[in-house]
Amino acid sequence: MFRDITSNLGLKITALLIAVAIWLHVSQSQGPEVTKSFIVPVQTRNLPENIANTTTLPNVTVTLRGSKILLEKIREENINAYVDFLDKKQGKDQVFVKVDFPQTVRLVDIDPNVVSVDLQKLQEKELPIVVTYYGQAPAGITLGEAQTDPKRLIIYGPSQGLSNIKEVHVKVNRALVKEGSNRFSMSYDLVDNNGKPVKKSTLEEMKIRPKFDTISVEIKSSSKQDIKTVGVIANTTGTLPTDRVITEIDWAPKSITISGPYATISKIESIYTEPYNLNGILSTTSVMVPLSIPLDVSADASEVRVTIKIEPLSRKKLNLYVDVKPTDKQYEVIDRIIEVTFQGPSSIIATLTTASATIDVSGLLQGEQNVKVQISGLPDGITVLQTPTVKVKII
């Protein structure tokens, strides 16, 4: 036996020295051992779905020991403190806290290492859903009765907490409702026995959870129909040749009766015709022109007859006597008879025999000056081609 021990003694001593050297190198490179504490929350494991822990688990202080270099690399998120509810029964109990931590260090202490728990079986409760409204519905929209999916909301939790929850409130903005079928996926509030919403954080503390995160609300709405009489306006586009002029535009009927959704009808004051193009028209014309009626509106007429009276432009020259205003100044008009050229529709220009021509000398200074003549008393459609002037001498 002694021979076995002493055989290859040199090799064995060399291996021992190498192992000691490696240990010394590792110890020196990782530094001396120290302790460090971490504050971490306590989680739960193996808690059955139909069981809730109604107590709030505290944070615990976990103290680890190891080399300084290794401990400095460890963070709170690397440590998991938990209580294991495997095989635990309902009721109050004291449960040991367990810890998962990096195996490069050692566990020194858990404070506290025991926590109090109260395990209660989860029950369910059906709550009525109440739909409430805010905001203003669009004009003419009538809201039908709201239908919810689900019809009633199931919540789970300990019996003591469930008894404090009365109903579910869903708030719908009327302004979002359109004509027809509307479906909204809505958040909601659980309301307590005093009619106040329960905060989400409070529900979490009470270990109460609902079956659904949102509630579907369906609202069927209809549009109020309206009937209204509105005026018709003829609409033209394009231009006549330069030697033609429109003397009159007439159309019939002048008004129509329309019907349709209230929201649309209430905004309509007049119905226009489709634009009628005047390009190239030389004489009076009468045509049926379609009305521009919105798609969701009905009318008792779809077109109107538009008559456009067109005449050639004619010119006429008249000699006019120039009147002077006021007459309290000393003045001399060099030539009181002037020739004026007029232009207008042929039928009107033919009847033109005279017009009023006046000048105002109230603001004139002494001496001779040219003054513009004011022409008035003309029929509609008649214009002066060039404004005449006369020479006036203020004495």
* pLDDT per residue as tens digits for the range 265-279: 989 999 999 999 999
Query: Omega into 326 within 30° of 0, i.e. cis?
Result: yes
Both 289 and 232 in a single domain?
yes
Both 168 and 156 in a single domain?
yes
pLDDT of 284 over the 60 cut:
yes
Q: Is residue 168 assigned to a domain?
A: yes
The C-alpha atoms of residue 390 and residue 117 are separated, in whole angstroms, by 114
Both 297 and 335 in a single domain?
no
The C-alpha atoms of residue 104 and residue 287 are separated, in whole angstroms, by 99
| DSSP percent split of the chain into helix, strand, coil, nearest 5 | 15, 55, 35
pLDDT at 6: 56
Q: Which helix (H) or strand (E) holds 349?
A: helix 346-349
Residue 243 near residue 116, CB atoms below 8 Å: no
**Closest to 310 measured CA to CA, from 264, 230, 250:** 250
pLDDT of 290 over the 50 cut:
yes
Reduced 3-state DSSP string for 324-373 = EECCCCCEEECCCEEEEEEEEEHHHHCCCCCCEEEEECCCCCCEEEEEEC
| Residue 234 DSSP SS3 | coil
Q: Is residue 333 assigned to a domain?
A: yes
Query: Of 223, 254, 274, which residue sits at a domain end?
Result: 223
Both 186 and 144 in a single domain?
yes
Neighbours of 173 (CB within 10 A): 13
Tally of domains in the chain? 5
**Closest to 155 measured CA to CA, from 178, 125, 114, 135:** 125
Q: How confident is the model at residue 7 (pLDDT cuts 50, 70, 90)?
A: low
The string of pLDDT tens digits covering residues 17-74 is: 665 444 444 444 556 899 999 999 999 999 887 888 888 899 999 999 999 999 999 9
Q: What is the pTM of this model?
A: 0.45
pLDDT at 316: 96
**Going by C-beta distance under 8 Å and a sequence separation of 6 or more, which residues neighbour residue 157?**
52, 122, 123, 125, 206, 207, 208, 209
| Residue 375 DSSP SS3 | strand
Both 17 and 79 in a single domain?
no
| Residue 2 DSSP SS3 | helix
pLDDT at 58: 93
Residue-number span of the structural domain to which 60 is assigned = 31-101
- The DSSP letter of residue 329 is S
Residue 333: phi and psi, rounded to 5, are: -90, 120
**Cα 131–Cα 132–Cα 135 angle in degrees, nearest 5:** 135
DSSP letters for 129-177: EEEEEES-PPTTEEE---EEESSEEEEEE-HHHHTTEEEEEEEEEGGG-
Query: Of 280, 312, 344, which residue sits at a domain end?
Result: 312
Query: Of 279, 312, 345, which residue sits at a domain end?
Result: 312
Q: Is residue 368 assigned to a domain?
A: yes
Q: Which helix (H) or strand (E) holds 72?
A: helix 68-72
Both 335 and 317 in a single domain?
yes
Which whole number is the average pLDDT over 88-93?
85
Which whole number is the average pLDDT over 169-183?
93
Both 134 and 211 in a single domain?
yes
Residue 226: phi and psi, rounded to 5, are: -140, 150
Which whole number is the average pLDDT over 97-114?
94
